[in-house]
Structure 1
Amino acid sequence: MNYRLEDLRYLMARLRDPQHGCPWDLEQDFASIVPHTLEEAYEVADAIAEADYPQLADELGDLLFQVIYYAQLAEEAGHFDWARIVDGITRKLVRRHPHVFPDGNLHTPAGSTAPLAADQVKARWEQIKAEERAAKTATPEQLSLLDDVPRALPALTRAQKLQKRAAQSGFDWPDSKGALDKLQEEVAEVQAAVVSGDQAAVVTEIGDLLFSVVNLARHLKVDAETSLRGGNEKFERRFRYIEQQLQASDKPLAECRLVELDALWEQAKRQGL
């Protein structure tokens, strides 16, 4: 017999039972669980990157448990319950897919509307999200296109989302050339800050440079976070190759000159690592 979602919710309630639950789980609150949630989300991404689908099933289970955990905490505090979560996301997705559910009814017969192209769906999605943000704002003066871009996102991902939002109002380079020119300008400003010896300026200019890199990536239809993850993995593969070659020749890494290490790096590149 396979366990069901309700069994997982029951398990969570047992863990949080004030008298007979798990001491560690009873100590947790919303804030203390957040780091675990972020870690589980990254582990899902890693399993997908490795195309390890058995592992992905396990990681998705871990991520689902995070949602169950928050729901249990919220229900105990009287904020909301599991039914509210499920109802809210279902209503939101029905509302944001009028090309699938034209009358706002989940059970609208399939094929009731004409199909839309992916770019049309995307444009409509953004329009509906903007309407939702406006509805949540008390006065028009408080409304910003940048509302609800989470501050807790990884910096590269948040930069991309901020730029995308701003671009909706026309605040954007017309093509990748403008973004590339801006990147080169930011490189020059980093160099000037380094020469000046002003460490605070260096920090600021490095931030601007990274933001410009993300902007160029966005114009070239590249997800900056995914691209950097790939760069990290490439560096790791090549550095491990260097370590392995040095271990085979019984030569400590710390005793090697940079020119030797660079030669091994080039070997790794030639081998497609």
Structure 2
Amino acid sequence: MRILVVDDEFPSRQCLRRLLASTGGDHELAGEATDAFEAIARCRAQPIDLVLMDTELPGMTVEEATRQLAKLERPPAIIFLASDDESNPAMAERPVAGCLLKPVNEDQLREALNIARRLALPRPQHVEKEEEMAAETPQRAEISARYRGGVRTVAIADIIFLQADQKYVNVRHLDGELLVDESLRSFEREFPDLFLRIHRNALVARSRLKGLVKLTDGTTRVELLDCDDRLAISRRHLPEVRRWLRERDAKTTHRLSPRRFDPRVDQQRR
């Protein structure tokens, strides 16, 4: 979810930025606005899935702002931020994901974001278009990028991990490194079965993931095959990586387990 924070008070926006960064889930902060006019303009200019909106904004009532947002081609879901119960606006024209009382804590925000995901709202057109394009486009077998005045090609199967590097993605492969002008998200969408996200800035090849190691400072890192680098794994993605490793190890153990000999079954087969 692309989230827009709308509040005229800087400390409130700062607090929400911190909470969104620490709250696990598939979302990102798409921007901030200080009033309803700016919020509507931002939602017109870029795809916004969810708006966290203060109920006491200057220049326009929150009811009118909500009506204006509902008229957009891609109307976002809305979570209101109220200073007390009485300022929770009852909106009849537009489903609302919820209303949080200030000061907002991490658990409340996480629950509201989960509700917003489950709401039966129309899927944003930009998401549908991206999924349609991904379904129509076959997976690439290799990627190419400019390298020292020429073009270098790397097989997808040779990639060990991908790491965001400012505007580029650093592709670590069996023969070295390559910078490509693509996003991690694009790789994640195109190759969901090949790469696993371990951090907001890193994907690792599932086939190269050896295991996890906990350092003395309490942080957890991944160990990779064919590479000495130990990449950091975020707390947000750690449970999913552990679950995937358990499932992989369970499948491997089941496949390699010797079949117990039963003479009765063997005699029946004969």
> With CA pairs under 8 Å and 6+ residues apart, which has the higher RCO, 1 or 2?
2
Task: Name the TM tier (shorter chain).
Answer: under 0.3
TM-score (norm 1): 0.26
